Amino acid sequence: MDFAYDSQPLSVVELINQIEQAIRAKTGSRIQALQIEIADRLIIVSGRTSTYYNKQLATQAIRETADQMLVQNEVEVGG
């Protein structure tokens, strides 16, 4: 499956890499065990972080990178 963003088709692997880089940049790499899955038009992100703010930043990074897709944020927040 290919996705078109910025007029360039992206493979699933390329899109996952872009999303991962965007999340790491936006959160300062504060999400441990970061995992990203794509199922149809749904992006599922999981991992662990110490603050709800970082979880929100991850969602924002995904929306900025792949705004045509739905986001399911399963990042766990806790010390």
Query: Which pLDDT tens digit goes with each residue over 7-31?
Result: 566 789 999 999 999 999 999 999 9
Rounded Cα distance between 29 and 27, Å, is: 5
For position 68, what pLDDT does the model report? Answer: 87
Would strands 8-11 and 32-39 be described as parallel, antiparallel, or unpaired? unpaired
pLDDT over 70 at 2, yes or no: no
Average pLDDT estimate for 57-70 = 94
Neighbours of 12 (CB within 10 A): 14
pLDDT over 90 at 6, yes or no: no
What range defines the domain where residue 53 resides?
2-77
CATH code of residue 29: 3.30.1340
pLDDT over 70 at 51, yes or no: yes
Percent of the chain at pLDDT exceeding 70: 87
State the maximum Cα–Cα separation within the chain, in Å, rounded to a whole number.
41
If one counts the domains in the chain, the total is 1
